[in-house]
Structure 1
């Protein structure tokens, strides 16, 4: 049975990945030295194409790391001497906050209930804050923050660095990088790749903060500190032996996305999200977890299930449709459905056929 993964990451691979894997084997990509001229060409081309796809300005640097979780650590190390400020409304924004604590910083936190968004204008940011951390798309709950609100947050606090987690919304979300200092995502979600690679986009101001901390004798990490990453990126390299295959695959998928058109990709995601939310809003068995539509994620749809989600998840799995459990305390109460570029409209419609079927069975 062919399976379709609607899990929020790792998720369904992009349809062209099998072809690109065969090509990678044929071209000996898996054996390339990360110091070779061939790898440098792959590095530069992937960076240039990513810059074009996401409209990243030339002023910002692009680094490759291992995971979104690692990026959180590197961001705190390189941009915070003592105080960061975290908007927390779910598991991954909480992880960002806890990372600062584990690195012996003294972070501030504005916390709301899981499933809620933020009114940034009503939140007072402590004056000692060096870095503001925002999870634009909270994968654990399906809350998405409007990019316009994030821009206003930066405009209202121009003296502070701003980090934005778009791990489960890239490449859908259209970030204005001129109002963000650190933006990051991992490839196993919206780009439909196997796990094992993250991308960090860094402003000149964040680079300067890292230099400042180094000059003060603050520990900013070892091989993956920003200055070392920049030194090697300028040469088309990484400090360590990287996931060469993942960087190659990312470059190939970006080319595929060029053919589809990023506007068309974003429109398709919105269309699928509307179909999903409309169905769950009219259902007697399921309902969207996020009550305010302005905070509903287009890429991670979270629904509550009356009397629990476990049986429905098992039935969907038996049909080859793999959806995500609720996160942590919501594990047996919710279902999380990924809506990434790799998910076709036809597969979404078929998924809903089974949701309807199980709802009718419940009503008998």
Structure 2
């Protein structure tokens, strides 16, 4: 059994070079130090409507945005409970796309097809599975960026394929990429895409961000059961009525979110994408990192 381990000295400062948590701006950290206020006050409505609408503006989406206290894993579970009856196609190309609890949560009857670690998914492979399989898939779900291998899957191309199957929904785990890697959510038939605040959003951990299409919302209404905490109807309807979250949120983290999102809007989505690409290329090609592999993409870049 784990014993208490309390460290009482100062930890040495360390710069973070991991997917997340990431380095956070000083003014973003300081914004969390405001006096506490009630989560049913008008001040909370001002805060929550601001971060939701700013996120829509930054991502360039007309779909609904839900921001809840939790990690991105919350919306992996919620999207499967909300959208899947029996079968989900989860192609795997690394440890995050392969996490077994996702398959257990859906109750699907077919093991997802696997691809070799590293190269990622091809849209035509997804098309072949949808066309040739005897299984009718409720959902195709994939990761945008597979952190364990460095692969960026072509979710735009996959989304275009899934769009040809109107009874199949497209769910994207973009936990380690959304906010730093540009994607046109509405253009490419992404029904659900979600992320965590501590990754490319460069905020403290504690919030999960999810974008939900009208089709995904309507699909949940048809189901006998769905996620309670992350239910699309419950969260979106409550926002429409009250401009708040249905449960008590992590208010200080939302204050940090508001501050950081202003920085992100000032920079712009595509400019932020380009900056991250330049940093990735520099890191991969720098003279001091011969042990670091170049970033891999399953297909050629979008542009």
Structure 2 length as normaliser, TM-score? 0.84
**Contact 1:142–1:296 (Cα < 8 Å) also in 2:** no
| Aligned residues: CA RMSD | 2.4
Counterpart among 20, 23, 48 of residue 9 in structure 1: 20
Deviation at 1:229, TM superposition (A): 1.3
Partner of 2:153: 145
Corresponding position of 2:3: none
Are residue 106 (structure 1) and residue 113 (structure 2) matched? no
Aligned counterpart, 1:360: none
**C-alpha deviations, 1:292-333, integer Å up to 9, x for none?**
555699xxxxxxxxxxxxxxxxxxxxxxxxxxxxxxxxxxxx
1:29-78, CA deviations, whole angstroms, 9 ceiling, x for partnerless residues?
xx222111110111101111111111011x43434241111111101110
Unaligned runs of 5+ in 1: 298-364
1:220 to 226, 242, 246: 226
Query: Does the aligned pair in 1 maintain the 2:70–2:208 contact within 8 Å?
Result: yes
Higher helix share: 1
More strand per residue: 1
Give how far 1:209 is off: 1.1
Seen in structure 2, the aligned counterparts of structure 1 residues 37 and 89 have a Cα distance that, compared at 3 Å, is same
> Is 1:254 paired with 2:261?
yes
* Aligned partners of 1:83 and 1:131 also within 8 Å: yes
Say which is worse superposed, 38-47 or 254-263, in terms of deviation.
254-263
Question: Post-superposition shift, 1:2?
Answer: 3.9
Partner of residue 88 from structure 1, selected from 84, 89, 92:
92
Q: Which residues of structure 2 form unaligned runs of 5+? A: 1-11
SS in 2 for 1:89: coil
Say if 1:78 and 1:225, in contact at 8 Å, map to a contact too.
Answer: yes
Q: For 2:297 and 2:202, how far apart are their aligned partners in 1?
A: 26
Which runs of structure 1 show a deviation greater than 6 angstroms over 4 or more consecutive aligned residues? none
Does the 8 Å contact 1:143/1:296 carry over to 2? no
- Matched position secondary structure for 1:209: helix
| TM score, norm. by length of structure 1 | 0.71
Does residue 1:118 correspond to 2:121, yes or no?
A: yes
Q: Any idea what the Cα deviations from partners look like across 1:215-253, whole Å, max 9, x if unmatched?
A: xxxx31334322211221212122211112222211110
Does the Cα contact within 8 Å between 1:171 and 1:191 map onto a contact in 2?
A: yes
Distance in 1 (alpha carbons) for counterparts of 2:266 and 2:80: 37
2:75 to 53, 60, 71: 71
Deviation, 1:167, is 0.7
CA distance in 1, matches of 2:231, 2:265: 32
Q: Which residue of 165, 177, 191 corresponds with 2:173?
A: 165
CA distance in 2, matches of 1:222, 1:154: 27
Per the TM alignment, residue 100 of structure 1 is displaced from its structure 2 partner at its CA by 3.1
1:204–1:293 Cα change, 3 Å: closer
Residue in structure 2 matched with residue 354 of structure 1 by the alignment: none
Aligned twin of 1:38: 43
Aligned pairs (5 A) from 1:143-222: 143-178=151-186, 179-214=189-224, 219-222=225-228
Contact 2:180–2:272 (CA<8 Å) still a contact in 1? yes
1:168-206 CA-to-partner distances (Å, cap 9, x unmatched) read 112122222221100100001112222111011111111
Rg larger in structure: 1
Q: Looking at both structures, which has the greater relative contact order when contacts are Cα pairs under 8 Å and sequence separation is at least 6?
A: 2
Q: Which moved more, 1:167-176 or 1:154-163?
A: 154-163
The whole-number CA distance in structure 2 between the counterparts of 1:18 and 1:247 is 11
How many residues align structurally? 282
